[in-house]
């Protein structure tokens, strides 16, 4: 069991209100990602769920039980910190054993669990080393090992991959996803990286300034963003926005099109412009186009695109792929 | 012979280091040498460095004339006692300042440090009168109390800086792992801070061992530590350089040996490698 319910939860540091009232239902076994720009309160909310920060108002329920004022040790959750937070004076073995010893588990059982975790995480040959003698990726594995042995009802991750280099990050991302599939335990994962959110999540909660802008599956957020913020945050490269009126809906103040939904033509189209910088990635090409009206569009073209700086082109998009927003940035359903 | 510039500067620095080291150590060396001379040689106008008649007379004389071991024991009790009592107070104080700071924690730390800028003689009369009224004059208890109070600001400061370097997340991790406050302190905080606690303890033992203002004023025959033992050779019946040197040597050597064996600990170690 591992469902967590937040009811009108808020947090203030002194006079500064960093979490506005938040309601959220986290289901047993799901992988939910809190994503948002840095400073929007993701870590704070995660730490409140963990019990490391107290809750200013509202309620946190874990497995149907009110846990708002429970100390962290009693909540049955495990946390993996960005800094790994290993115990520097203990061997890897003792780091992993620490939570089991606190739970007064007997020695034979502890050894069995450590051996098992070491096998899953490829830590066999490092068990007697101190954290200081391990690489970043290995430390991250130890931190995960220490979390899984306790069989918590949910895992909390706070930007666990941000101290790793890019290629290791991709590997660990897969490992964590695989771990989630095999354990089928609730995971709450905080990141500022929308790629991590899109690739790992069952559901994503997009944070902005202490509120949740939208909760949904990666594709829901991609296809039906509630507002301009979510539309711009999810997807890479970012969605293009321009101010525009729609002939059939006078509430529309701006429209948005994703770079991958624009078609290029040299003869005709909805918008005309001049090619600026082109970025060739091999499999695809990003064109930065200066529109003749106003603004710039980023366009995703295929890898063989031969357009170059200064070329005149036309762009168009399938009307069903164009997002409409009112003057407050709220999405207007398809007209 | 080709000596490149980095080698040359290395030679210069080594030479400078040895010169400064020699200058600092010379008085101690001179004291040690003098303690093996006769009184006549000790005050000779043309003293010789090593070429004199080595004698143990001064040590015999000093040991027979004053109760060295009583003073030695007093020094041990006062320095170690005050350092341990100090730790007992300073650990919780530094802990709360480092991990649950308030708006005024910094001010409090500065204020504590400012007490070290006060000339001790400024509070001589009140402390003396307090000691007299509480019957603490010439007692080891009294000296332990005063040495504890004198060194407490330094202890809290040292421990505070050591604790500050322990990342809060490590302590939070232990809380997530089911540790009680007791577990957190005994299995996580204290072991990580142990090198810091040990060097705090050692430094304070040394400082208290060498303290010679309060110990001389507040003690007489019973509680006098080695500083008073040395001082007793410096005046009334004229000057006895050789015996004074022998007494000094016996007072200084134990703490020098302690310092020598714990120098690694004094120059603090342990890297916090687990936290990137
Ligand atoms: N202990 C604290 N005291 C005061 N302000 C804090 C504290 N922790 C976080 N904040 C503030 O709360 C806001 C949200 O922080 P955080 O949850 O760490 O953001 P995120 O993890 O989304 O980057 C930030 O503006 C930060 O400055
Ligand atoms: Mg954060």
Compute the half-sphere exposure of residue B69: CA atoms within 13 Å on the CB side of its CA: 1
Secondary structure in 3-state letters for B59-94: HHHHHHHCCHHHHHHHHHHHHHHHHHHHHHHHHHHH
Average pLDDT over residues A62-88: 94
Whether ligand 1 lies within 6 angstroms of the CB of A145 is answered as no
Residue A52: which pLDDT band, with cuts at 50, 70 and 90?
Answer: very high
* Per-residue model confidence as pLDDT tens digits over B122-132: 889 999 999 99
Q: From the candidates A89, A143, A147, A162, which should be mutated to test the interface with B, based on the most B CB atoms within 10 A?
A: A89
Euclidean distance between CA atoms B34 and B52, whole angstroms: 10
Under an 8 A CB cutoff, do A52 and B187 touch? no
Record: contact B188-A87, CB cut-off 8 A? yes
Ligand 1 contact via A43 beta carbon (within 6 Å): yes
DSSP A52-86: SS--SEEEEEETTEE-TT--GGGTTEEEE-TT---
CA distance A24 to chain B (A): 22
Atom of ligand 1 nearest to the CA of A44: 17
Q: Is A89 on the interface with B (CB under 8 A)?
A: yes
CATH of the domain at B159: 1.10.3720.10
Domain that holds residue B181: 66-232
Q: Chain B contact for A151, CB < 8 A? A: no
Q: How far apart are the CA of A2 and the centre of ligand 2, in A? A: 23
Task: Tell me if A72 and B175 make a contact (CB, 8 A cut-off).
Answer: yes
* Within-domain flag for B59: no
pLDDT in tens, B76-88: 999 999 999 999 9
Per-residue burial over B31-48, b = 16 or more CB atoms within 10 Å of its CB, e = otherwise:
bbbbbbbebebbeeeeee
Non-local CB neighbours of B192 within 8 Å, separated by 6+ positions: A87, A88, A89, B166, B170, B270, B272
B271 inside domain:
no
Tell me whether residue B71 is in a domain: yes
Inside any domain, residue B109: yes
Per-residue pLDDT tens digits for A142-197: 999 999 999 999 999 999 999 889 888 999 999 999 999 999 999 999 999 999 99
In a domain, B211, yes or no: yes
Q: Chain-wide mean pLDDT for chain B?
A: 86
Separation in Å, CA of B207 to nearest CA in chain A: 29
What the block records as the tokens of A73 is 């040790």
Centroid of ligand 1 to alpha carbon of A130 (angstroms): 31
Q: Are A331 and A293 in contact (CB under 8 A)?
A: no
Quick check: A246 and A333 in contact, CB under 8 A? Answer: no
Q: Is the pTM of this model over 0.90?
A: no
Q: Answer yes or no: is B116 within a domain.
A: yes
The yes-or-no verdict on residue B268 having pLDDT over 60 is no
Query: Is position B108 within any domain?
Result: yes
> What is the tens place of the pLDDT at every residue in B230-245?
888 776 556 778 888 8
pLDDT digits (tens, 9 = 90+) for A283-327: 999 999 999 987 899 999 998 889 999 999 999 999 999 999 999
Neighboring chain B residues of A89 at a CB cutoff of 8 Å:
191-192, 194
A42 CB near ligand 1 (under 6 Å):
yes
Asked if B178's CB is within 8 angstroms of A132's CB, the reply is no
Task: Give yes or no for residue B113 having a pLDDT over 90.
Answer: no
Q: Please count the other Cβ atoms lying within 10 Å of the Cβ belonging to residue B206.
A: 18
- Domain count of chain B? 1
For residue A32, the model assigns a pLDDT of 98
Top pLDDT among B48 and A223 is at A223
Choice between B83 and B198, residue whose per-residue pLDDT is larger: B83
Which ligand 1 atom lies nearest to the CA of residue A207? 22
Of the pLDDT bands very low, low, confident and very high (cuts 50, 70, 90), residue B4 is: low
Query: In chain B, at which residue ranges do the beta strands (DSSP E only) sit?
Result: none
Q: Is residue B58 part of a domain?
A: no
Q: Is the CB of residue A100 less than 8 Å from the CB of residue B242?
A: no
Token couple for A87: 């115990």
- B275 pLDDT exceeds 50? no
**CA–CA distances in Å: residue B42 to residues A138, B18, B237:** 66, 27, 17
Full set of structural domains in chain A with CATH: 4-232 (3.40.50.300), 240-332 (2.40.50.140)
Does ligand 1 have an atom closer than 6 angstroms to the CB of A309?
A: no
Q: Residue A195: what pLDDT?
A: 94
Worst-scoring range by mean pLDDT, A4-18, A22-36, B56-70?
B56-70
């Amino acid at each position: 069991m591992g469902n967590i319910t937040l009811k009108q939860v808020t947090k203030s540091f002194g006079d500064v209100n960093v979490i506005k009232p938040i309601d959220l239902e986290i289901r047993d076994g799901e992988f939910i990602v809190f994503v948002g720009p840095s400073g929007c309160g993701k870590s704070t909310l995660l730490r409140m769920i963990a019990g490391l920060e107290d809750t200013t108002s509202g309620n946190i329920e874990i497995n149907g039980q009110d846990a708002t004022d429970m100390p962290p040790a009693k909540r049955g959750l495990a946390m993996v910190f960005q800094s790994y937070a290993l115990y520097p004076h203990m061997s890897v073995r003792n780091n992993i054993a620490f939570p089991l010893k606190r739970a007064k588990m007997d020695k034979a059982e502890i050894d069995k669990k450590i051996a098992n975790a070491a096998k899953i995480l490829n830590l066999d040959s490092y068990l007697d080393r101190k954290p200081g003698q391990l690489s970043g990726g290995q430390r991250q594995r130890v931190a995960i090992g220490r979390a899984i042995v306790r069989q918590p009802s949910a895992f909390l991750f706070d930007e666990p991959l941000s101290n790793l280099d890019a290629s290791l990050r991709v590997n660990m991302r897969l490992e964590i996803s695989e771990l989630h599939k095999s354990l089928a335990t609730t995971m709450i994962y905080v990141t500022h990286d929308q790629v991590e959110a899109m690739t790992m999540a069952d559901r994503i909660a997009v944070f902005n300034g202490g509120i949740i802008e939208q909760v949904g599956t990666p594709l829901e957020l991609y296809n039906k963003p509630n507002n301009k913020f979510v539309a711009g945050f999810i997807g890479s490269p970012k969605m293009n926005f321009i101010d525009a009126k729609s002939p059939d809906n006078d509430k529309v103040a701006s429209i948005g099109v994703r770079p991958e939904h624009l078609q290029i033509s040299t003869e005709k189209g909805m918008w005309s412009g001049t090619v600026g910088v082109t970025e060739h990635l091999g499999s695809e090409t990003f064109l930065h186009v200066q529109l003749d009206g106003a603004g710039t569009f980023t366009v995703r073209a295929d890898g063989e695109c031969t357009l170059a700086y200064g070329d005149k082109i036309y762009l168009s998009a399938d009307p069903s792929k164009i997002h409409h927003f009112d003057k407050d940035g709220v999405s207007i359903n398809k007209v | 012979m080709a000596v490149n510039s980095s080698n040359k500067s290395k030679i210069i620095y080594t030479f400078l280091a040895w010169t400064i080291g020699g200058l600092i150590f010379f008085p101690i060396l001179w004291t040690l040498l003098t303690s093996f001379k006769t009184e006549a040689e000790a005050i000779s106008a043309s003293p010789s460095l090593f070429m004199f008649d080595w004698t143990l007379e001064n040590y015999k004389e000093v040991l027979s004339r004053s109760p060295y071991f009583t003073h030695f024991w007093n020094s041990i009790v006062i320095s170690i006692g005050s350092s341990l009592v100090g730790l007992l107070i300073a650990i919780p104080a530094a802990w709360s300042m480092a991990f649950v700071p308030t708006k005024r924690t910094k001010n409090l730390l500065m204020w504590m440090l400012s007490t070290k800028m006060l000339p001790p003689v400024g509070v001589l009369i009140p402390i003396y009168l307090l000691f007299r009224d509480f019957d603490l004059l010439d007692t080891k208890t009294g000296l332990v109390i005063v040495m504890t109070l004198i060194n407490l600001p330094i202890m809290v400061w040292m421990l505070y800086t050591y604790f500050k370097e322990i990342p809060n997340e490590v302590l939070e991790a232990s809380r997530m792992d089911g540790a009680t406050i007791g577990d957190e302190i005994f299995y996580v905080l204290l072991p990580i801070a142990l090198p810091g606690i040990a060097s705090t303890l050692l430094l304070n033992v040394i400082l208290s061992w060498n303290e010679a203002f309060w110990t001389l004023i507040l003690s007489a025959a019973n509680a006098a530590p080695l500083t008073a033992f040395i001082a007793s050779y410096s005046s009334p019946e004229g000057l006895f350089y050789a015996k004074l040197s022998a007494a000094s040597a016996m007072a200084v050597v134990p703490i020098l040996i302690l310092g020598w064996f714990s120098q690694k600990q004094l120059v603090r170690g342990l890297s916090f490698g687990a936290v990137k």
